[in-house]
Amino acid sequence: MEILQIKNLRFGYPDGAAVLDGIDLSVHEGAFVVLAGPSGCGKTTLLRLIKPELAPNGKQAGEIRAFERDTPPTASEIGMVMQDPETGIVTDMVWHELVFGLENMGLSQGEIRVRAGEVSNYFGIQELFHRDTPTLSGGQKQLLSLAAAVAMRPRLLLLDEPTSRLDPLAAASFLQSLRKLNQETGMTIIIAEHRLDDVFPMADRAVFLDGGKVVYDGKPDMAYGKDLGRMERALPTPMRIFSALDGAGTSPLTIAEGRAFLRDAAAGCSARITRKAPETDGETALEVKKVWFRYERELPDVLRGANMQVKKGEIYAVLGANGSGKTTLLSVLAGLQKPYRGKVLVAGEPIGDIGKKELYRSRLSLLPQNPENVFVKETLRLDFEHLLTKTKSGGKGDIEEMAEKMGISHLLDRHPSDLSGGEKQKTALAKFLLRKPDILLLDEPTKGLDAFVKEELAECFRTLRDQGKTLVIVTHDVDFAADVADTCGLFFDGDLISQEAAGDFFAASAYYTTAARRMSAGIFENAVTEKEVITLCKSGQKGGSATASSQSAFRD
């Protein structure tokens, strides 16, 4: 049975921006489909059009037919987990959110209790059952959104970047739960994703969009070698390494398959990497000394004697599990939350002694996890102009220059709410950079961005670092952190329990590490990034034993 049929679907927003241009797609019942494509290619728009209640306003042509009938699907037949759980959660407590949709379905109290308990146990959120939803971390809110959608037992489940706010271990567990749901209940799943390493092997079909059109539709393991344009950078790490090393035969898809291929490709290779500490001018830009913080007196401490030191001109990445307190740490660093014990120093000066105007105009700036919170005007252009007028930090020429640099010139006259998740992230970052602060605090800056844009963002961050700017990044994107960070810290139990050079951090870690490291562990002694693995392997193939002096040798 074809559970979904889409024929010649075209869509454009009221401002004239065409997003989808002749989409033809059919999905059989029980399929697990991964939807991929560049940021802003129309993935979110397509998913929202499939669910009529969430369809955006605009000019639409073509046909969308669900469940082989002409009548529209009911709200419970198609479930949706949005990219930003903040926009989907409508109640004040976890259990209220779980039962909200069930009550609207008119179910009995007994059945509502059973379904709420069932999905809570299934997704491991039973301990959150009586929590207030505003106190949840971004990842916990995402799990709650999924549980609430599944509780309604939809026949078709749509997910828009559901792992973007999850740490690596939680993301893998989340995706395994989806696969189990698909296999054990027959629920049809369509998931839009940028991070394909984990989801690609479990999907039975991959659909790539670009320029509003379908550019590939087929089995995931057959995507290698197809004309995917810049989306070739988004393919799983084993496939990219296989391609770079001119592998013959069937491309590996999983880490295990990639390791088998790499053992043969790297046979006899003795090259290794020697790293040196990142170069800074020695000055301390930010320092946290024995900081304790909790949101309310009766609640447990989130920060427990936390210590942290960030050098001027350094990119420092903070990693850790969902709900561990990483975002809270950023808020304390930004002076938005005041610890009840300990000190936060900016360039050696207590943050409380710095006037707010000076602190936030030129000293530091915080990009929050939810990019929608930074916009205050009807269009991006007006929003940027408002910022520059308020801060007196530039003119209209700066807006055009920044828009060109970030690839958002075509979005300047759009309303922020009409942008995709990736576009919101890029435009929020552009506004953030227009302030020209000395210290940049970023909470999940790569969320919703495709691999190509992340490469551009990494280069932007390196340029800022070379200009003497200091960056502190909270992220779940370990591959991005390995590529761009100088120093990494693992946040656990209210403190940074490990702070060391990024290459050493990821080489020593078994779980908070890159796909390239997991693929090459035991083959190359301390390779961490994809470029490092490829370079070392090619050196071995040529009979050499080259030694790399630093990670930066692999970034060009």
pLDDT tops 70 at residue 552: no
One domain, residues 355 and 498: yes
Q: Taking residues 243-271, what's their average pLDDT?
A: 87
One domain, residues 489 and 368: yes
SS3 280: coil
One domain, residues 217 and 325: no
Dihedral of the alpha carbons of 49, 54, 59, 63, in degrees to the nearest 10: 30
Q: Taking residues 173-187, what's their average pLDDT?
A: 89
Strand partners of residue 488: 317, 500
Place of tokens 């129309």: 42
One domain, residues 168 and 313: no
Q: What is the pLDDT of residues 455-491, one digit of tens each?
A: 888 988 998 899 899 999 999 999 999 999 999 999 9
Confidence grade of residue 550 (pLDDT, cut at 50, 70, 90): very low
Residue 264 lies inside a defined structural domain of this protein = no
The CATH code of the domain that includes 384 is: 3.40.50.300
Highest mean predicted confidence (pLDDT) among 12-21, 31-40, 135-144, 420-429: 31-40
Residue 175 lies inside a defined structural domain of this protein = yes
Residue 253 lies inside a defined structural domain of this protein = no
Residue 270 lies inside a defined structural domain of this protein = no
Residue 374 lies inside a defined structural domain of this protein = yes
> Lowest mean pLDDT: which of 51-65, 258-272, 320-334, 483-497?
258-272
Provide the total of helices (H) and of strands (E) in the chain, helices listed first: 19, 21
Q: What is the pLDDT of residues 188-240, one digit of tens each?
A: 999 999 889 999 999 999 999 998 899 999 999 888 878 887 788 889 999 99
* Beta pairing class for 284-293 and 341-346: antiparallel
DSSP 453-484: HHHHHHHHHHHHHHTT-EEEEE-S-HHHHHHH
Confidence grade of residue 70 (pLDDT, cut at 50, 70, 90): confident
Confidence grade of residue 545 (pLDDT, cut at 50, 70, 90): very low
One domain, residues 327 and 184: no
One domain, residues 208 and 294: no
pLDDT at 199: 93
SS3 498: strand
One domain, residues 226 and 294: no
Give the Cα separation of 494 and 307 in Å (integer): 10
Helix (H) or strand (E) run with residue 404 in it: helix 396-406
pLDDT at 281: 64
Q: Taking residues 242-259, what's their average pLDDT?
A: 90
Structure token digits, residue 9:
């679907």
User: pLDDT higher for 371 or 513?
Assistant: 513
One domain, residues 223 and 308: no
Confidence grade of residue 294 (pLDDT, cut at 50, 70, 90): very high
Report percent pLDDT > 70 for the chain: 94
One domain, residues 364 and 489: yes
Strand partners of residue 300: none
Confidence grade of residue 544 (pLDDT, cut at 50, 70, 90): very low
pTM for the whole structure? 0.85
Domain containing 103: what range? Answer: 2-230
Residue 351 lies inside a defined structural domain of this protein = yes
118 CB-contact burial (10 Å; exposed 0-12 / middle 13-18 / buried 19+): middle
Highest mean predicted confidence (pLDDT) among 15-24, 26-35, 293-302, 314-323: 26-35
Report how many domains make up the chain.
2
Last residue of a domain, one of 215, 230, 245: 230
Spatial contact of 32 and 57, defined as CB atoms under 8 Å apart: no
pLDDT at 227: 81
Structure token digits, residue 381:
């252009």
Residue 220 lies inside a defined structural domain of this protein = yes
pLDDT at 191: 97
- Closest among 85, 64, 20, 273 to 156, alpha carbons compared: 64
One domain, residues 48 and 130: yes
pLDDT tops 60 at residue 524: yes
Spatial contact of 237 and 210, defined as CB atoms under 8 Å apart: no
Residue 158 CB neighbours (<10 A): 26
Residue 68 lies inside a defined structural domain of this protein = yes
Q: Taking residues 141-170, what's their average pLDDT?
A: 89
Q: Taking residues 310-337, what's their average pLDDT?
A: 92
Highest mean predicted confidence (pLDDT) among 13-22, 82-91, 208-217, 540-549: 208-217
Give the Cα separation of 528 and 158 in Å (integer): 34
SS3 395: coil
Averaged confidence pLDDT in the chain: 88
User: pLDDT higher for 366 or 16?
Assistant: 366
* Helix 237-244 and helix 530-541, axial crossing angle in degrees, nearest 10: 30
One domain, residues 290 and 434: yes
DSSP 176-216: HHHHHHHHHH--EEEEE-S-HHHHGGG-SEEEEEETTEEEE
Q: Taking residues 132-146, what's their average pLDDT?
A: 83
One domain, residues 65 and 167: yes
Last residue of a domain, one of 206, 230, 254: 230
